[in-house]
Amino acid sequence: MIDTRITKLLGIKYPIFQGGMAWVSSASLVGAVSNAGGLGILGAGSMEPELVRQEIQKIKTLTNKPFGVNIMLMMPTAPGVVEVCIEEKVPVVTTGAGNPGPLVKRFKDAGIRVIPVVSSVALAKRLERAGVDAVIAEGHESGGHVGEVTTMVLIPQIVDALTIPVIAAGGIADGRGLAAVFALGAEAVQMGTRFIVARECHAHQNYKESVLKARDRDTVMTGITTGHPVRVIRNRLTKEYLDREFHGASAEELEEMAKGRLKAAAIDGDTSSGSVMAGQISGLLECEETCEEIFRSIEADYCKVFERLEKFRPVKAN
């Protein structure tokens, strides 16, 4: 459908990655996204290495298309997950919450494409020098653990600083967002929030309902004072957390409050005292859909952008 360096490099139909969200992106979602023509990505951040292996093996039974695994580098399980990805020869590894520089050679030697998430120009440049295949530049609009700079501002600066392809993430959920970041120089997008509400996503129905109900101003940033800012949908937990955060609570106390809260929301459906991580684009989403429907709708919206832009084509002065 749309050819970019990313679709060619990975052998996928659509330049669309599904974010590898911890506790949310499991084999069923990954298989469905890859079968629909995007890049499904397993969220290994919540998994022990042996569970990652089982999920990878399950994905291989669901699809023969390329897929990825997201490794959260700050997790103590990360080294074990790296070994599993190499042993299982996964096609693509994305990394988050850390610098994968020292791992790049091992992945490349194993024939694995390495695509880290970055939220600054400096890290993007460092990782290009380390030999990564592309970067996912993630803006402040994203859900979960986020950087400071917004997508609109981050993408053109990273595109100008690198020669490898850039995948844009943060605040993108439809074909308009896809076209917008192409205009900024990106060659693919990563969408997380949109795939939380995919039918094939196993996240608890309450979690999906929170995302679908959310409006534009319903996400908040927590953890700014601890240096680990996390975007979540506003609820009882965020009220209590932010009260404490801005009344002098220690980083340890806040960490204790947040422990296990993402699982409580995504798996147990506790959306009042759980951590409902989702992006600002939640306000755009209205219903649960299959991955096939999501891709068809993104494609249709994308095509409409070109009809619209035609009206704004610059006129030649003579």
Give the C-alpha distances (Å, rounded to integers) separating 194 from 132, 140, 311, 317. 26, 16, 29, 42
**38: helix, coil or strand?**
coil
Closer CB to ligand TUI, residue 276 or residue 305?
A: 276
Asked whether position 96 contacts ligand TUI by CB under 6 A, the answer is: yes
Residue 202 CA to chain centroid, in angstroms?
Answer: 16
Q: Does 137 bind ligand TUI (CB under 6 A)?
A: no
User: Distance from CA of residue 240 to its chain's centroid?
Assistant: 27
Residue of 119, 210, 219, 238 interacting with ligand TUI (CB under 6 A): 119
Q: What is the DSSP letter of 280?
A: G
Residues 29-88 that bind ligand TUI (CB under 6 A): 45, 72
Site for ligand TUI in 204-223 (CB under 6 A): none
**Angle 159-163-169 (CA atoms, 0-180°, nearest 5)?**
40
Smallest separation (angstroms) from ligand TUI to the CB of 135: 10
Task: Mark residues 221-250: x for contact with ligand TUI by CB under 6 A, - for none.
Answer: ---------x--------------------
Interaction residues for ligand TUI, span 9-28 (CB under 6 A): 22
**CB of 265 vs ligand TUI, minimal distance in Å:** 11
Number of Cβ within a 10 Å radius of residue 53: 18
Give the residue with the Cβ less far from ligand TUI, 178 or 264: 264
State the number of binding residues for ligand TUI (CB under 6 A).
18
**Minimum distance of ligand TUI from residue 272's CB (angstroms):** 18
Q: Which of 38, 68, 144, 279 binds ligand TUI (CB under 6 A)?
A: 144
Indicate if the alpha-carbon torsion angle 43, 45, 47, 50 is positive or negative. Answer: positive
- Regarding 127 and contact with ligand TUI (CB under 6 A), the answer is no
DSSP H/E element including 95? strand 92-96
SS3 content of the chain, % helix, strand, coil (to 5): 45, 15, 40
Q: Which stretch binds ligand TUI (CB under 6 A): 97-105, 239-247, 289-297, 305-313?
A: 97-105
Residue with the shortest CB distance to ligand TUI = 144
| φ and ψ at residue 97, rounded to 5 degrees | 55, 45
b/e per residue, 217-246, with b = 16+ CB within 10 A?
Answer: ebbbebbeebebbbbbbbbebbeebbeebe
Binding residues for ligand TUI (CB under 6 A): 22, 45, 72, 96-99, 117-119, 123, 138, 144-145, 147, 230, 262, 277
